[in-house]
Amino acid sequence: MTATPDLTEQHRYPPKVPLVTEVWGVFRSLIAARRNLLEIIPEIATRQPIVSGKTGTVRWHMVMDPDSLRRMLKDRVDDYPKSDVTKNLLRPAIGDSLFIAEGAHWRWQRRAAAPVFSHRNIASLVPIMSAAADATCARLAACPGRADMYQEMVSATFDVISNVTFSGSDAMDSNAVHKAIDAYIAQIGRVSLMDVVGIPTWVPRPSRMFRPNTLKDMKAVADRAIRQREAAGPKSVPDLLDLLLAGEDPETKKRMNTDELRDNLLTFIVAGHETTALTLSWALYLCAFDEPVQDKLRAEAQSVLQGRTATAEDCPRLPYTEQVIKETLRLYPPAAIVSRTAQAHDTLSGREIRPGDTVMMPFYALHRNHALWPDPDRFDPERFAKGAKYDRFSYLPFGDGPRVCIGASFAMTEATVILSTLISKFRFKRVPGKDPKPVMLLTLRPDGGVHLKVEPV
């Protein structure tokens, strides 16, 4: 008789953040939030529909109730604009672009940019994603053994985003943008609790000392790429920059000026590059964590791809790959907390909301809420098998409603192409003692990287 293996917590569950179980004072919360923003989420947020509090004079709420989230994101969207915090953090880099604009200024930009992300346009950009997958395979094959798959995925997704935005500009330029963006994210990344709850912007933030050159360099490179493209005309396969240059609001016929083009281009890079890299590196970690899942994924990839790199036509034939990516986004949503500033009196999950309250949507806690997901901390791609039922507003890695992520299909396609190609060619194994710890800077990152053993299959 074989003994049943002893499945300890550590073996059954991939890493999670130890959430707070006691009420913390302001000072302790501030310190924790600077270290790891997720640590301000109380453990009860994974069991309750709403948690409220007050820090200083600021009232805040964390909402984990699908009905209330539907109300905020869809039914009463104008009463819950993006929080002042979000805008203050991002405006220096991406201006009043699609991501943070409100009202009419948001609406026309969204209408002008929507065709850029149509199914047909994304399909025409897939060869760039396949090339990035190939380049990663070549790097891994050249030095087998151990790799930091987080760094690998950051390189791969940056190749993709720079080739669909700045292609044609020289490599030095795109490296300069990459460096500038990483430096920017590192500088603003340490979001403090003061920011999250919305303490006035005039209170000095020690972490908010931008090196002005970082932003100036980034914008200068983007401006140059736009001018070059305007002069040279569109490429044979139009990329995001061409499509944005051609973009027009179908209602007002308005087009973007150079500043608006640049701000939106940088928005696509800031919003799309690291988030997709995180999805892929957490997915690879989870495959190493759960070898039977990895084997099933490899069987699907190998039977569909037959040794090739994945293409646009392969994506609909890789349903298990999509399940694994969706389950990864549930456990490690890159945008782990987004927040709004309430504009009107309202009631959410029985709680009074007043104008000026900060209302957070901690997707990390929503996706691990015990009332919504059975055994929520367990990795189980079957949750997303065909026909599985869950409330749409209990799973929001891309948000929802009119402000839903415009790049969601782009990101899902890119993740499918890269993950299936890598898994079909390599086996990934955990390195003992090197499991990543989830840390929230601007996004939910694996602290210390994702170090895995990589073997060709």
Chain residues in the site for ligand HEM (CB under 6 A):
82, 98-99, 110, 267-268, 271-272, 275-276, 279, 334-335, 338, 397-399, 403, 405-407, 410-411
C-beta of 109 vs 136, nearer to ligand HEM: 109
Q: Which residue has the tokens 């791969």?
A: 156
Count of residues for the chain? 457
Identify which of 294, 256, 288 has the alpha carbon closest to the alpha carbon of residue 96.
256
Min dist CB 333 to ligand HEM, Å, is 6
CB 233 within 8 A of CB 225: no
Q: Which is nearer to ligand HEM, 305 or 444 (CB)?
A: 444
Nearest-approach distance from CB 317 to ligand HEM, in angstroms: 21
CB-based contacts of 174: which residues, under 8 Å, 6+ apart?
Answer: 158, 162, 166, 221
- Nearest CA to 417 among 195, 134, 179, 188? 134
Q: Residue 82: CB partners within 8 Å, gap ≥ 6?
A: 100, 102, 338, 339, 340, 341, 403
CB 377 within 8 A of CB 13: yes
* Closest-approach residue to ligand HEM (CB): 407
Whose Cβ is closer to ligand HEM: residue 43's or residue 248's?
248
Q: Least distance to ligand HEM from the beta carbon of 329, Å?
A: 6
Nearer to ligand HEM, 99 or 393 (CB): 99
Select 199 or 406, whichever has its Cβ closest to ligand HEM: 406
- DSSP annotation string for 92-136: HHHTT-TTT--HHHHHHHHHHHGGGG-HHHHHHHHHHHHHHHHHH
Q: Which is nearer to ligand HEM, 192 or 339 (CB)?
A: 339
Q: Please report how close the Cβ of residue 321 comes to ligand HEM at its closest, in angstroms.
A: 14
Closest separation between CB of residue 10 and ligand HEM, Å? Answer: 27
- Residue 199 has, within 13 A of its CA and on its CB side, a CA count of 15
Q: Which is nearer to ligand HEM, 30 or 325 (CB)?
A: 325
User: Shortest Cβ distance from residue 99 to ligand HEM (Å)?
Assistant: 4
Nearest approach, Cβ of residue 89 and ligand HEM (Å): 12
